[in-house]
Structure 1
Amino acid sequence: MTGLAALPTAIVVMGVSGAGKSLVGAALAARLGYAFVDADDLHPAANVAKMAAGIPLDDLDRWPWLDLVGAAIARREGGIVVACSALRVAYRDRLRAAAPDAVFLELDASPELLAARLGARRGHFMPAALLTSQLATLEPLGPAERGVRIDVAGTPAEVVERAVAALT
């Protein structure tokens, strides 16, 4: 991952389900005084229904959604933090096509921690059964990508402070 010279104004908090993208993203946005967007809120109803039924999305499902996410980043006024899985390099490339200055914050957790979090989560359309497919799909940030990876063990406040330190 390439280094960062200054605090980015477009941050995509990425990772698999259960890593804490929404929680960390919202807290990070509040800490930085940035707007927050949860990319889950931009999914078309058909995507939500598919995931709720335990069916993983394919790329044809994801491309229009990623275009909506990229557009939200590109039209920002001021800083923005977006929670978005962005599991594959191709998905991050799609977001960077719309918002070239986007920086990725990859949330890293053990499969055991992720499974425990998903098992405790209620009322979310993404079932724990899809964790395996997400872990198989995940392509961690590469050395040429603008971004950082942090461990999500600990309290949300600790993770946010770790994120701020890594991003600055």
Structure 2
Amino acid sequence: MSAEQIPYVAFLRAVNVGGRKVEMARLRAELDELGLGPVRTYIASGNVFFSTARTDRARLRDEVEQRLAEAFGFEVPTALYTLGEVEQAYAAAPFGGMERAEHERFSLLFTTGELDPAVLPQAGKRGDWEVAGVHGATAYVLFRVVDGKGPANPVPLLEKAFGVRATGRFHHTVEKIIAAARKD
């Protein structure tokens, strides 16, 4: 009798930006070789779907990160969630029903560990971003254009504040990621 397969979503940080090229076919092949196949990807920004019976998430994340670093020659921080956890994080988003102003964007920050709400509030000095809340290992970030300038990248500051590694996806993109992950 085989163990139950758990569907995972791996959010890879900073792939296919700033010279950090990761071809999706090669990415899928590398993770297939770890026994995580069949591996699927959604858009070329580092959203990976696979199923495995392995339950030691920290070890699995370490194996994925090590394999990708060896294969591509640079570190690829990875936030690893079950599909159910991604669905829960999306459903818990405080801006799920909010009307977004033209100068605003809603984002989910997927991280490598549980987030302590006591670290809040967190916000940019220009009012260009703020953490609207946390749920488990996910932070909800509201971005704003201020005085015609886009928001600064809060990820390094939030990683330091929460003691985790992180990568963000826009709220509307997470909805598409969930739909793509559910397809067989």
- Specify the structure having the higher radius of gyration (Cα): 2
Superposition TM-score, scaled by structure 2 size: 0.27
Q: Which has the higher contact order (CA 8 A, sep 6+)?
A: 1
Q: As a proportion of its length, which structure holds more strand? A: 2
Q: As a proportion of its length, which structure holds more helix? A: 1
Superposition TM-score, scaled by structure 1 size: 0.29
